[in-house]
Amino acid sequence: MIKKIVLTTATLSLLLLTGCGQTAPDLEGANTGKNNVSDATQIAGDTVTIDENRYGNQNSADSNSSGKYNSSSDGFQSVYFAFGDYGIAPGMESRISTDANVINSSTASKIKIEGNCDEFGTDEYNYALGLKRAKAVKDSLSAQGIAANRMVIVSFGESNPVCSSPTDSCYERNRRVDLHLVK
């Protein structure tokens, strides 16, 4: 008798576990439209589409580079970070020195320092984390004598991954700061 009750409860449990949440049907919507609904001002009128494809067609440089990771360009070395962290790890200090040498031997007036994150953060907080990483690299370069006004920092949050596989090594490659000369 008790076995029957257990079996029944188990079946009910499975049904409830799989059946929770009410999902509306997936209905493919249309993509464009002109509209003028009487008495519905918020959808009256045609809306525009802006095409900005002329900008930003370049992907991160050297994303297929062999050996140790690097997605910076112009001879710079990317700097990598631990999960959720924005401190420069001791193992990354030699890369900072390399980057300082590249800047010192360059005639470019500006260097862009781009902070990046893995996919696990959300919303604004992830962009702030990328910014802290870029700032940490900028401060380290300043400490090596690079003029602060030659460096521009920008956070790209999780928008610029160099890989997308669900592996630790991929996540590591995305938690980074890239450097580029502004030409």
- Which residues 79-138 are close enough to bind other proteins by CB under 8 A? 83-84, 110, 112, 119-125, 127-132, 134-135, 138
Minimum separation from the CB atom of position 109 to other proteins (A): 11
Minimum separation from the CB atom of position 7 to other proteins (A): 10
Minimum separation from the CB atom of position 167 to other proteins (A): 9
Q: Is 166 in the site for other proteins (CB under 8 A)?
A: yes
Q: Is 3 in the site for other proteins (CB under 8 A)?
A: yes
Q: Is 4 in the site for other proteins (CB under 8 A)?
A: no
Q: Which of residues 19-58 bind other proteins (CB under 8 A)?
A: 20-43, 45-56
Minimum separation from the CB atom of position 161 to other proteins (A): 6
CA-atom Rg of the chain in angstroms: 25
Q: Which of 160, 177, 151 is nearest to 81 (CA)?
A: 177
Looking at residue 53, the DSSP 8-state letter turns out to be T
75, 161, 176, 181: which one binds other proteins (CB under 8 A) = 161
Return the structure tokens found at 87. 């401190």
Inter-helix orientation angle 123-143/93-104, to 10°: 70
Report the alpha-carbon distance of residue 151 to residue 60 in Å, rounded.
Answer: 19
Distances (CA, A) of 112 to 76, 96, 100, 128, 138: 11, 14, 13, 17, 10
Residue number, 9 or 94, with CB nearest to other proteins: 9
